[in-house]
Amino acid sequence: MNAAAALPPVIAIDGPSASGKGTVAQRVARALGFHYLDSGALYRLVAFAARQSGAALTDEAALGAIATTLNVRFDGDEIYLNQLVVTDSVRNEEAGKWASQVAVWPAVRAGLLARQKAFRRPPGLVADGRDMGSVVFPDARLKIFLTADAATRAERRYKQLIGKGMGANMAALLQDIRARDERDSQRSAAPLQKTDDAVLLDTTHLSIDAAVEAVLARYKAVI
């Protein structure tokens, strides 16, 4: 048995902002009894911690130090930073924009790499993000690149925000999603990309339930 086969299996689900990968990954993890890694939350936390400390989102050295020493804990749906619940603060649209800005820095990505790898525990892991299959878990048992067209993603985000009682503007959301797509795909460090061994899953016309079933079917086919 090679070293990769001896490790707990990983399902890596990558894709652009608001593609639904987080919801799909959570449901797949629940169905399989696997652990779940929301890697985007870590970048949001770095950005949030930087804003709290006064560090600029352009200061790579300071951001890298924050990423390396981040005191974070996930407990169910709650996120703790320095023992304080910060879930709502890192789940809003502003934090998402900040995360996309700090994710371009190699020092930040390097600082979070070991932390992300530590989520790989028995019986297995479902990890979602931008570079789970390409950088963090290149030996993942299954790699999914989950996407949808920008207009559909903006509409989904709009409904999500309105459902939470938050204000939202469709045109602004669409512009922001397109800007994040460009920033994520053009960055020099671990750009958003579909690897050759990843399965493309376009959810533009798929329900969440159908997307979850598609991932589970693919996983059953490779185990």
Three-state secondary structure string covering 149-188: CHHHHHHHHHHHHHHCCCCCCHHHHHHHHHHHHHHHHHCC
Do the Cβ atoms of 51 and 74 come closer than 8 Å? no
What CATH topology corresponds to 10-34+123-223? Rossmann fold (3.40.50)
Q: Which residues contact 174 (CB under 8 A, 6 or more apart)?
A: 150, 151, 154
pLDDT per residue as tens digits for the range 24-47:
999 999 999 999 999 999 999 999
- d(CA 127, CA 121) in angstroms, rounded, equals 12
Band of pLDDT at residue 187, cut at 50, 70 and 90: confident
Nearest to 39 by CA among 52, 23, 51, 22: 22
Structure token pair of residue 144: 């999914």
Per-residue model confidence (pLDDT) at position 58: 95
Residues 223, 221: Cα–Cα separation, whole Å: 6
Tens digits of per-residue pLDDT, 78-93?
A: 899 999 999 989 988 8
Superfamily the domain 39-121 falls into: P-loop containing nucleotide triphosphate hydrolases (3.40.50.300)
- Phi, psi angles (nearest 5°) of residue 76: 65, -125
Q: Is 3 a residue whose pLDDT tops 60? A: no
Mean pLDDT of 113-124: 94
pLDDT of residue 92: 83
Q: Is the pLDDT of residue 16 over 70?
A: yes
In this structure, how many other beta carbons lie within 10 angstroms of the beta carbon of residue 131? Answer: 23
% of the chain beyond a pLDDT of 90:
75
Would the pLDDT of 129 be above 70?
A: yes
Q: What is the mean pLDDT of residues 166-180?
A: 91
Reported confidence tier of residue 1, pLDDT bands at 50, 70, 90:
very low
pLDDT of 2:
53
Within the chain, which residue ranges are assigned CATH 3.40.50.300? 10-34+123-223, 39-121
Q: What is the mean pLDDT of the chain?
A: 92
pLDDT of residue 5: 62
